[in-house]
Structures are given as structure tokens and as C-alpha cells.
Structure 1
């Protein structure tokens, strides 16, 4: 499958089969996340694998958006190990963690796994629930698992605005 086909086929999975994720597939997904480029190659991302009953119950306590996924990846970054941009008003933490998360999602799709970027939760509550260090900031939760047979993309998944509406050529 070409990258374009993979990108078009990947969707936000909102219904999972309870089948466990193969450990080899999970390692592949995690290793692809590790390959993501980061500013100055600081690799400040932290990916927490939440798969046990206790952790999944905690996920369910902070968001209704696990959708039955057997694995959730919590993606965060080390705020003390980021590149600060000229002007000092921004740093690379959120964008680097986002690049990592995108690699994780696309690698999951390559393995035939579904995923969903979850942002419907309070990052501070997640940080506390999972006992993350003070210097880490939570970006997102990533549901991961086998899509349910009766699931699928939302009806509007394939609709895209024309490039002329989203790209400015100068």
C-alpha cells in the first residue's frame, strides 16, 4: 500500500474488538514512533503503554473515549528537554510529541490496527492519574486495537475541501 493509500484509509476508530494487540505489532508501532524527527533530535517524547485493567480503568475515569480499545498510548513530553524558538515564546514539545503521535497512528494502520487520537480529557487529570513526573506534559491519548467488524469510519471521513481552500500559494 502506498503512503497516500495508507493515509486515506486510516480513520479515527471508535469501536474496537476486544482481541489483544499482538506484542510484536505493539513493538513495531512504538519503534516507528521512536523514529519520528524532533527539534534538534532531542527526542523529548514519552510514550506510556496503558494496557492493564488498572490503567484502562483510569483511562475510563478521565475520558469516555476509549471505545473499548485494549491498549491506550499516553503521549507526553519532557518540558525540560525542548528546543526553545527564537523569541522565547514557543518550544518544540507539543509539535515534536505530535509528530511522534502521527508516526504511531500511521504505523498502527500499517499493521491493520485501528487508532483514535483522544483529546477529550483534562491533561492535568491524566498526569495525576498516571503519576507522571512534574516535568512532563501530556499531549494526547491514543486508543489502539483491532477495529470491530461492525465499526468503520464516520460517514464524512472521505470528504475533503479542495486544496485551494486549505493551501495558500504565494
Structure 2
């Protein structure tokens, strides 16, 4: 599939089938994440797969959207602040690096027929405590992952003339 077609196909899925994600597909998606670029190749991230019922229950306490509970699994995407590259002027690049890796995840999942949704509006502190993350680890994004049970709505995008200068 051409990249532009894949990008157009990806959407924020908010309803999932009860069907489990096959391990081969999960492995493929995570290999795409592993290959994501990062500033100075620091790869300042950690990804935690959440599949068992106890952990899914804990994670669902961090974000209570009804639709979120329909996903068969989740990925907690964290920045490792002690490993991120810092520009000379003090700009930390962990947020940028995790965003690149997460979008690799979302595009790879789409290619495999899976749905995802970026969830950033969650209780990060509760997540950190519930999963006993290290002090240097910041959970930045939650990604529900599974087979879509909904249809994408129309994407509204700015015209090219509005984003190019």
C-alpha cells in the first residue's frame, strides 16, 4: 500500500471488536516502533503491552471513556527522561521522539487491519503509580489496539495553501 493511502486510511478508532490481536501482528507493529527514528538515535522510550484483565482494569481507571473499555489490549507509551536528547538551548526532545514512534505504531497497526487512537487526556500520575513506573519514566500516550468495530468519520484537513508558506 502506498504511504499516502495508508495515512488516509488511519483514523481514531473508538470502538473495538472483542477479537484478540494475533501475536504476529503485534510483533510486526512493535518492530515498526523499534525502527522509528529519534534525536541522536537515543530511543528514549518504553512501551508496555497491557493484555491481562487485571492490568486492563487498572489502565481503564486512568481514562474512563466508555469507548476505551472496548479495546482488547493497550500499549502504554512512555518517555524515558534520563535518556532523551537535550538541545543546547535546553529543549528536551522526548515528546517529539515518542510522537514519531507512536505514529509508526498507529500506521503499522492500520496496515495490519487494526485500529488505534491516541489517548493523551488521561491521569498520567495514576498510570505511573498503578504500573510502578520508574521515576524517569513518563507515560505520555495510551494506545488502545484492536480490530475496529466502527467506521471512520470524514477527516477535515486544512487546504495545502493554509499549511505551506
Q: Same fold (TM over 0.5)?
A: yes
Q: Does the CA-based 8 Å contact 1:29-1:107 persist in structure 2? A: yes
Between the aligned partners of 2:78 and 2:112, the Cα distance in structure 1 is 23
Between the aligned partners of 2:94 and 2:157, the Cα distance in structure 1 is 29
Number of equivalenced pairs? 163
- Map residues 1-170 of structure 1 onto 2, 5 A cutoff: 1-65=1-65, 66-88=68-90, 90-148=91-149, 151-154=150-153, 157-167=154-164, 169=165
Q: Does the CA-based 8 Å contact 2:49-2:73 persist in structure 1? A: yes
Detail structure 1 runs of 4+ shifted over 6 Å in the superposition.
Answer: none
Deviations 1:72-106 (A, max 9, x none): 00000211111111211x21111101111000000
Cα offset, 1:67, TM superposition? 4.2
Q: Does the CA-based 8 Å contact 2:80-2:136 persist in structure 1? A: yes
Q: Does the CA-based 8 Å contact 2:60-2:69 persist in structure 1? A: no
Cα offset, 1:166, TM superposition? 2.2
Q: Normalising to structure 1: TM-score of the pair?
A: 0.92
Deviations 1:28-85 (A, max 9, x none): 1011000000111111110000111011101111112424111100000211111111
Cα offset, 1:9, TM superposition? 0.8
Q: Does the CA-based 8 Å contact 1:14-1:67 persist in structure 2? A: no
**1:117 aligned counterpart, secondary structure:** coil
CA RMSD, aligned part only? 1.1
Q: Normalising to structure 2: TM-score of the pair?
A: 0.95
Tell me, which stretches of 5 or more residues in structure 2 are unaligned?
none
Between the aligned partners of 2:163 and 2:64, the Cα distance in structure 1 is 31
